[in-house]
Chains A and B, each alone.
Chain A
């Protein structure tokens, strides 16, 4: 096993490479550019293809085309770049082309800020493009997970022929931690039978396309919905800390979950029964995790680096409003401190916070 100190973005890029990624297209945007830069030389070393597209729109569609032809294709972006990706991603879903995309989130609307944020939740988890879909969304909270999730993402996407989104953030992407790098997986562009490689004599042609053109639509839609149900049931992942007797339960992913986990540890030392659910998959949402929350719980608090509490709505929806639900947000691009989280949770415990949904 190879151990190195790396940035989260670099670990994600290297994890993808070791997971068989042999195509990368992207466009520079902070704070994800290290992924692009890493791929520019690393793909050469492994005999893959790297293209810096002339725009995000080019990059997302290059990724589609490469994946159609058999490459394990990966692309990464952030903030407004992810907005530009949405049309392309909807096509991946509709054509069942299992690309992998990373969004290293930043803070703010439109161009926003280049610093860390968790502002793509709604877009990433609910459905950024047109039509009925959710992506399989994995949210790393460490450099190691950035690597591991990228490593397994292609096989997960291929299992369902459905795209996977790695939803990182500027802090996880930029910070350095030790990481154990996995073995290189072997993958060839001819390994999978659905890929487009030229129609052999006597065969029927293959077309990677939006379903509505080729398949009987009703039949395809039923198959697709069954697939989405299966993913929703089988792929929920989460980590829970001290939830069973918690008076207040925090819900946090990515960088916020690191702060929240420390808050739970410190609060418990002081006798305040704080718990944490960390969704690892944001879709499928780990609904099962919330069954463990005791009826005596005074409130659920999402800890998020955005202004409107995007994930709070998901919690209310998935718990069917069973608990009072609050969002601990920021009005400037920064991560919460541990003390702030504990103070806010105490305030919820004391009944001093108002519920709010925009």
Chain B
């Protein structure tokens, strides 16, 4: 048996809702940072949204630019301090809606940075409105009858956006089971290792539940990801070079 204990860099309780995927991802990232012994050489760029709450319980240096501007911020951060591990924990709204320009620019330039994007298919903090990742027919607060192509346009799949780009790593994982969480952890570590090797832009999208805005129990939310969300957003490694 391997003893399991919360990573030491947590200094407080999380402020996420019960069953929130952000809490699970924060712990995964904290474990990787401690296992690689790089906490003091890591600076995280926050998005604004639920994801930014990592800073209230993780003892890691961070900056918080305006909503969605992570792609620009991490570009500058890495160039100013190339010796540090520069990464962002973003939401799908920040990374693919308001920040799609910054995210895409950073990827097109193949900046040597890491983006972890939490995809819960909606805007969580503001109450569950339509995000670019909201699936066709999915009911959300600003598309109460469900997303339609006519009214809301196609949904965004980062594999389609970046699949042919000259970037180092593009993967999608989930947190629905211990096995999937271990896969997420591997992808997180792989992205950071590529970053340290100077390979270029790495993006790991993590399918996470938002039980509060999905109006489901946490356990049901995990089933929903397995049965519905991950059918629309394919899991796996799309780019690995």
Contacts and interface: CB of A to CB of B under 8 A. Distances in A.
Interface of A: 23, 25, 49, 51, 53-55, 57-59, 61-66, 68-71, 73, 87-88, 91, 95, 189, 196-201, 204-210, 213
A57 B40 CA distance: 30
Contacts of A206: 61-62
A64 B105 contact: no
Nearest to A209: B64
Nearest to A208: B63
A34 to B, nearest CB: 22
Given A25-B76, A66-B80, A199-B61, A61 B66 contact: yes
Contacts of A53: 72, 105
B64 A208 contact: yes
A337 B204 CA distance: 61
A65 B102 contact: no
A217 B150 CA distance: 44
A152 B215 CA distance: 56
B84 interface: yes
B134 interface: no
Given A61-B65, A198-B61, A199-B60, A55 B43 contact: no
A204 B52 CA distance: 18
Contacts of B52: 213
Contacts of A87: 66
B90 interface: no
Contact of B42 (A198, A208, A213): A198
19 contacts: A23-B76, A23-B79, A51-B76, A53-B105, A57-B101, A63-B76, A65-B74, A65-B80, A66-B77, A70-B81, A88-B69, A189-B81, A197-B84, A198-B41, A199-B40, A199-B60, A201-B40, A207-B64, A209-B55
A209 B43 CA distance: 13
Given A62-B72, A208-B62, A71 B101 contact: no
Contact of A65 (B58, B59, B73, B105): B73
Nearest to B62: A207
Q: Which of A62, A71, A73, A95 has the most CB of B within 10 A?
A: A62
Interface in B8-57: 39-43, 45-46, 52, 55-56
Contact of A64 (B39, B73, B81): B73
A164 B233 CA distance: 46
A209 B73 contact: no
Q: Which of A65, A87, A198 has the most CB of B within 10 A?
A: A65
A189 B43 CA distance: 15
A205 B74 contact: no
B69 A61 contact: yes
Given A54-B101, A65-B45, A208-B62, 16 more contacts: A25-B76, A49-B80, A51-B76, A57-B72, A61-B72, A61-B73, A63-B76, A64-B63, A65-B63, A65-B76, A65-B77, A71-B80, A197-B43, A207-B64, A209-B63, A210-B64
A71 B76 CA distance: 10
Given A197-B61, A205-B61, A91 B66 contact: yes
B43 A198 contact: yes
B64 A69 contact: no
Contacts of A69: 43, 63, 76-77, 80-81, 84
Contact of A68 (B60, B63, B66, B79): B63
B133 interface: no
A205 B60 contact: yes
Contact of B72 (A58, A68, A199, A205): A58
Nearest to B52: A213
A55 B101 CA distance: 9
Nearest to B58: A205
Closest 6 CB pairs of A and B: A65-B73, A62-B76, A209-B64, A58-B72, A61-B69, A65-B76
A87 B60 CA distance: 26
A213 B54 CA distance: 12
B85 to A, nearest CB: 9
B101 to A, nearest CB: 7
| Residue with the highest number of chain A CB atoms closer than 10 Å, among B55, B64, B71 | B64
Nearest to A69: B80
A68 B86 CA distance: 13
Contacts of B66: 61, 87-88, 91
